[in-house]
Structure 1
């Protein structure tokens, strides 16, 4: 006779899996923001790469400085995206293990808890990298004094 899970058991497992699934939706939103920032950084780098060969003097130095900064920001945001995607994978593993444990009557409670904690640690790591990138971008935004045309008193 084949094993057929009781509908109430499946419903209970779905209820248990709701929190990680909602977390997965939140992680997706975070990834959307991160990838959007990455795209803007890459676009700016490509624009500067076009200007780089024809620039000279102080303008060239500013382009090189900004390109180096953009390269660093790309690496940082890439690390953030990587960790957040790993968090999503760990979170998906939690959901899968919940169903597998219920369907096969396995005692995976400890493994589920470890996967969930791992998901949270990876998410925290990704958010910390994201914070570094945001702080770096804010510190890098400087309007040159000669463009401000300050009033003289």
Structure 2
């Protein structure tokens, strides 16, 4: 096993694109986890308010938040799976070059699986955004139909 410096340089060049993809996936995971944290915070507030007594408005919002959290969790799992597959692609690129094993089909397969994970993550994320937007529109329409009186301190 005689590895030349130029061979390592070539493998590093091949691995750069997946590394950039991995950076994008990590950034997307950050966005998704921040969104999940906001959903969890709002859920806790509503659950505390519901301890004082039943409220149909809070219960409705809580159900929407549960659906959104499920979608975000699925998007996070898909993005994490994508990141794992990209890491395996990078590892197999190096392994295949240093050992002269024909791993090209495995690398291509893992890359396709990574793209399926990334696509599904975007689909779940988009679905969550649609639900959040629809809920906001519904709340806005309700507030126009039934305006609330101003609070005493306003």
Same structural fold, with TM-score higher than 0.5 when normalized by the shorter chain: yes
Give 1:76 shift: 0.7
| Alignment-derived partner of residue 138 in structure 1 | 133
Give 1:55 shift: 3.5
Give 1:4 shift: 4.2
Give 1:148 shift: 7.0
| Alignment-derived partner of residue 42 in structure 1 | 40
| Rounded Cα–Cα distance in structure 1 between residues aligned with 2:15 and 2:75 | 26
Which residue among 14, 17, 29 is the counterpart of 1:16?
Answer: 14
| Alignment-derived partner of residue 119 in structure 1 | 114
- The normalised TM-score by structure 2 is 0.89
| Rounded Cα–Cα distance in structure 1 between residues aligned with 2:53 and 2:13 | 61
C-alpha distance after superposition, 1:30-72 (max 9, x if no partner): 111111100000000001111002144xxx0011111111111
Task: Please list every run of 5 or more consecutive structure 2 residues that lacks an aligned counterpart in the other structure.
Answer: 150-154
Aligned length: 144
Task: Please list every run of 5 or more consecutive structure 1 residues that lacks an aligned counterpart in the other structure.
Answer: none
User: In structure 2, the residue corresponding to 1:147 is in which secondary structure?
Assistant: coil
| Alignment-derived partner of residue 52 in structure 1 | 50
- The normalised TM-score by structure 1 is 0.90
| Alignment-derived partner of residue 61 in structure 1 | 56
| Rounded Cα–Cα distance in structure 2 between residues aligned with 1:118 and 1:135 | 26
